[in-house]
Amino acid sequence: MGRLFGTDGVRGVANADLTAELALGLSVAAAHVLAEAGTFAGHRPTAVVGRDPRASGEFLEAAVVAGLASAGVDVLRVGVLPTPAVAHLTGALGADIGVMLSASHNAMPDNGIKFFARGGHKLADELEDRIETVYEQHRTGEPWSRPTGAGVGRVTDYMEGFDRYVAHLIGVLPNRLDGLKVVLDEAHGAAARVSPEAFARAGAEVVTIGADPDGLNINDGCGSTHLDLLRAAVVEHGADLGIAHDGDADRCLAVDATGEEVDGDQILAVLALAMREAGQLRKDTVVGTVMSNLGFKIAMEREGIRLVQTAVGDRYVLESMKAEGFALGGEQSGHVIVLDHATTGDGTLTGLMLAARVAATGRSLAELAGVMQRLPQVLINVPDVDKSRVTTSPELAAAVAEAERELGSSGRVLLRQSGTEPLVRVMVEAADIEQARAVAGRLADVVKSALG
């Protein structure tokens, strides 16, 4: 059996890869592993379980709840809420475990299971590995130890979760949004109710699109992976800005009043300056990844803010933030983590904080985002090559060195191995898009010839 847990929980096609039996078995295994680890010591354990609106989430939620309750865990079922809401409620309610059923920005047929530890933090890798091992042992025949009578878990619908999470979002905002008109694209996902409610309570005039989930339309031509509808709606309604979430609302992208995209790097730049002004940007540092646009790095250096770059993936950003005590980090894709107020990327919180900065300064989002000039970035995937040799090929090293000499300080080259496929990603940034394309094309040809 291959490793079930990826970088963001267990994910696959619902009812094919991710079955009810797997969901139930993993939930029982998680309860046993956390009991072994002492998480439940001295008290009756509690879990928070939430989901996004996918049709498959209904039967998978039932399976997870059944598995946890059968293992003696009381379950608070919070219904359809964003991933960061489930993480927040896990911490706020003192629960021992949180479970979110979502495949984030993936298409509707997929689903996933993500576990949170006490406090709402991502489960440690070693605990995920142990859950897999225990699950496999029992899947192949070893019987579970099961409570009976009053020892079985009880299941309660916790409908207060919605208001409690929205109140949390409003409570951490630095200022109100009165006078702003905002268009929200909810991707027919988990934030379809939460995000409009939070923006409205904060004082904004709200226009919503993609806020009618039917279980089948999540991420379908809308949300943070498809911005065209949002661009058009912002212009049509004369809004100050637009905010787009993905299916589980752990990410946020924006568009300005003209319909121009404001990506995760630009959002981080705006929030970094706002937080430093408020004395909240610890060590005057923001965390990004190696894929952060060079324009972001140049802007932060100019503003006297240090940029720490990690491997690609919000988990690596979060690890760096927690290890070093940094307050702000994120990715170009719109995963933004404000660690003082959230344990994971929170798209609704990010959107609210961005809008709050517009309201507080009286400046347009375009002007605020203009603190950084996004350099043209070209990405070419080169398939069917020996990716393991990307750092050892002399021919490739010479080509990269030549490209870096040509680009100078106004450009950048990055070669990355795919984590899941036999391909190498060639990324080139330059002040001029044609130069970026030419250099990327030449490097892609060398990757093909040297590693093919």
125-135 residue pLDDT tens? 899 999 999 99
What's the pLDDT score for residue 3?
Answer: 75
What's the pLDDT score for residue 26?
Answer: 97
Measured CA distances, 344 to 4, 213, 284, 378 (Å): 21, 24, 20, 29
What is the number of alpha carbons within 13 Å of residue 270 lying toward its C-beta? 31
Examine the domain organization and report whether 429 and 336 are in the same domain.
Answer: no
Please give the share of the chain, as a percent, with pLDDT higher than 70: 99
Examine the domain organization and report whether 168 and 116 are in the same domain.
Answer: no
Contact 162, 193 (CB under 8 A): yes
Give the confidence band of 359 by pLDDT, cuts at 50, 70, 90: very high
What's the pLDDT score for residue 2?
Answer: 55
Please give the share of the chain, as a percent, with pLDDT higher than 90: 87
By the 10 Å C-beta count (0-12 exposed, 13-18 middle, 19+ buried), 406 is classed as middle
Higher pLDDT, 5 or 300: 300
Tell me the CATH number at 402.
3.30.310.50
Tell me whether residue 250 is annotated as binding. Answer: yes
Examine the domain organization and report whether 41 and 57 are in the same domain.
Answer: yes
By the 10 Å C-beta count (0-12 exposed, 13-18 middle, 19+ buried), 26 is classed as buried
What's the pLDDT score for residue 241?
Answer: 98
Taking only the tens place, the pLDDT of each residue in 146-193 is 999 999 999 999 999 999 999 999 999 999 999 999 999 999 999 999
Residues labelled catalytic: 104
Examine the domain organization and report whether 275 and 415 are in the same domain.
Answer: no
Examine the domain organization and report whether 351 and 224 are in the same domain.
Answer: yes
Helix (H) or strand (E) holding 428: strand 423-429
Instruction: Kindly report which listed range (47-56, 105-114, 135-144) carries the lowest average pLDDT score.
Output: 135-144
Per-residue pLDDT, averaged over 312-322, amounts to 91
Taking only the tens place, the pLDDT of each residue in 36-77 is 999 998 899 999 999 999 999 999 999 999 999 999 999 999
Instruction: Kindly report which listed range (5-9, 161-165, 266-270) carries the lowest average pLDDT score.
Output: 5-9
Question: Is pLDDT of 346 > 50?
Answer: yes
By the 10 Å C-beta count (0-12 exposed, 13-18 middle, 19+ buried), 358 is classed as buried
Can you tell me the distance from the alpha carbon of 18 to that of 246, in angstroms, rounded to the nearest whole number?
A: 21
Residue finishing a domain among 124, 159, 194: 159
Tell me the CATH number at 85.
3.40.120.10
Residue finishing a domain among 337, 369, 401: 369
Nearest Cα neighbor of 286 from 321, 319, 311 is: 321
Structural domain including 445 reads 377-451
Tell me whether residue 102 is annotated as binding. Answer: no
- The alpha-helical segments, DSSP class H, found in 202-262 are 228-237
Higher pLDDT, 139 or 19: 19
Question: Is pLDDT of 94 > 70?
Answer: yes
Can you tell me the distance from the alpha carbon of 427 to that of 437, in angstroms, rounded to the nearest whole number?
A: 10
Examine the domain organization and report whether 168 and 148 are in the same domain.
Answer: no
Examine the domain organization and report whether 338 and 313 are in the same domain.
Answer: yes
| Residue with the two structure tokens 């630009």 | 266
Give the confidence band of 313 by pLDDT, cuts at 50, 70, 90: confident
What's the pLDDT score for residue 355?
Answer: 98
Contact 207, 380 (CB under 8 A): no
What's the pLDDT score for residue 1?
Answer: 43
Per-residue pLDDT, averaged over 255-276, amounts to 98
Examine the domain organization and report whether 322 and 389 are in the same domain.
Answer: no
Examine the domain organization and report whether 128 and 204 are in the same domain.
Answer: no
Q: Please state at what angle helix 294-302 crosses helix 264-277, rounded to 10 degrees.
A: 10
Q: What is the pTM of this model?
A: 0.92
How many domains does one find in the chain? 3
Examine the domain organization and report whether 279 and 361 are in the same domain.
Answer: yes
Can you tell me the distance from the alpha carbon of 210 to that of 362, in angstroms, rounded to the nearest whole number?
A: 28
Tell me whether residue 346 is annotated as binding. Answer: no
Tell me whether residue 96 is annotated as binding. Answer: no
Examine the domain organization and report whether 300 and 363 are in the same domain.
Answer: yes
Examine the domain organization and report whether 10 and 153 are in the same domain.
Answer: yes
Residue finishing a domain among 369, 392, 421: 369
